[in-house]
Structure 1
């Protein structure tokens, strides 16, 4: 299971890459592995505002559908449009090409409530 050290993690298995007040959000390697082959991603509309913890997206796989939560508060400024035709990018590259959406954060200190890589690894059961 890959857990990049430079990201922030939510207990609900989302990750955040923070860059100048912009939070790129995706699901972790653990989450995509549990879901199996993704077949669909319903992403939020650009301009939608979320509070931390609010449902922001849904991904569907051959196994199940899963809600994706906004790990930080902010306004959606971009979605990964490639996922419309290629949801499997989340399985192939969850921390790269498989990102879901970007938020202009309300308060960068929201990440203070998230886990670092070591804490997230402890949360995940070993396969």
Structure 2
């Protein structure tokens, strides 16, 4: 599957820095580098409403188990467990960023490579 991701320039730079800091597994680093090479960079104000970025609520289905999860994705400095928010740089945040509603993706989580489908994306603010 070669869906190209759509990112704001700021998020693109944040992800490039995340790679430089070696914060990802080898699998995820190679996958993210490949995604960034094909990514479309646009201004934040021009991002489609159904693309995962900061300040979005994302409902995602783990395809093997059928379980659904809802995440509120925020900038790293604003992520708080007590507010049920996660950083865009968390494993699931990095996996989903730039993908739109309906996209399927694979990402290595602590328990192994998982396949997900983004069911719904809602902007907050």
The verdict on a shared fold, with TM-score over 0.5 as the criterion, is: no
Pick the TM interval, shorter chain: under 0.3
**TM-score of the pair, normalised by structure 2:** 0.25
Of Structure 1 and Structure 2, the greater helix share is in 2
